[in-house]
Structure formats: C-alpha cells, structure tokens
Amino acid sequence: MLNNTSKLFFPKIEFEKSTEINHNSGDNKIVNLYYLDWTHKEKKCNDGETELPFRYEDKIKNLRFAISDGYLKEIRRTSWSSVEELNMMRAVDSSMRHLYLKPAVGFVSVAFRLLSDSLFDTETGFYYRKSDKIVIPHILLYKFWKNQRQVPSSMIMDYTEIPELMTIASNEELSDEQERDINEFLAFFNEDIKIK
C-alpha cells in the first residue's frame, strides 16, 4: 500500500540518564542525556562493521547529547521528512537526482546540526565547548552518509558539507586546536574517499 522502498538508516537516539546542567548562576536544571546507537545502520550498510577509524568511532560512541523535548521532536520530524522526500515518486530524469535529493539531504543535515547543538560535556556538566565541536557535525554526517545505498558516492562530499568545513578552515579566527581538528578530519576524509 505504501511505497517506502528507498531507505535511509539512522542511528537510534538512546536515553542514558537524567542529569543536572551546571549553570554559573547556580540555577541548575535537569536534562535528559542521550547517546547514538549506530548498530542497526552499520548492520544494514556495512555488514555490522564500524565504518570510520577507531579515533572517530570512539569519539562518536562517547558523545552525549542533552536534548530538550522540542529538539527531540524536531530531530525526529526532519529525519522522517528526509525519508519521505527520498521516497517521493518523481517523473524527472535521473540525471537530475542530485537536484531533487537536496531537500532530503537538507533534512538530514538539520537533524544532525540539532544533535550537535545539544552536545553535552560529562566532564564539566555543561554544554560541550571543546575545540573539536566545530568538526563534530561533519563527522556525524559522514558516518551517516557513508555506505548508505541511496547515496551516489560522487555526492558524499556535498552531503557531508565538506566545502563548508573547508571554508571554515580558511578562517583566521580559529584557534590552533580547531584548525588541527578540522585539518585532521579533512585529511582523513580525502584519504577515505580515494580508497573508494
């Protein structure tokens, strides 16, 4: 009855625990912490194997997100919207696929940007402020898009928003640590794409 043949495999957002966010004002609030479980995506897209080097897989595994109810609803809405877009029946030449997939890609990007905006630092008990926060959305997007069957490999650079990251890398306002984190990921990305 429903044609949902084109699939995107998302990580599961798993509840871990409730915790307090430490505000300087002393007005602490309780938030729910979540983590991403990529097991189903890896099983469906990569025979159950991890897809990135240990350094990035370990980072992703250890990320925690303080996601408000509003953010959680919007992350789920945009994720479902990407699947809906992908499954639209289109009487358009397949050479235009890179154009008509843009809305689906955009919805995925919004979902992962909202997740990244919710990053929580368990060491400080506050929102994540480390230098690699600038590159984390791109790492998550790459992990998501890598090995998805619906993705033309020629488009993964755009889907992962690598051109945007390269623009950020040329910004003089970055700290040395931010520059290092970005350049290390870009070097890995370029090497990984060549291997394919």
Query: What is the tens place of the pLDDT at every residue in 92-135?
Result: 777 777 777 899 999 999 999 999 999 999 999 999 999 999 99
CA atoms within 13 A on the CB side of 71: 18
User: Domain extents for the chain?
Assistant: 12-195
Please name the residues in contact with 137: beta carbons below 8 A apart, sequence gap of 6 or more. 112, 113, 115, 116, 161
Query: What is the tens place of the pLDDT at every residue in 57-75?
Result: 999 999 999 999 999 999 9
Residue 172, pLDDT > 50, answer yes
Please name the residues in contact with 161: beta carbons below 8 A apart, sequence gap of 6 or more. 109, 137, 138, 141
Q: Tokens 């599961």 map to which residue?
A: 12
pLDDT band, very low/low/confident/very high, at 5 (cuts 50, 70, 90): low
Scanning 67-135, the segments in alpha helix (DSSP H) are: 69-86, 97-100, 102-117
- Rounded to 5 degrees, φ, ψ at 30 are -85, 135
What is the rounded CA–CA span in Å between residue 22 and residue 122?
Answer: 11
196 or 58, greater pLDDT: 58
Query: What is the tens place of the pLDDT at every residue in 77-104?
Result: 999 999 998 887 777 777 777 777 899 9
Mean residue pLDDT of the chain comes to: 90
pLDDT band, very low/low/confident/very high, at 22 (cuts 50, 70, 90): confident
pTM: 0.92
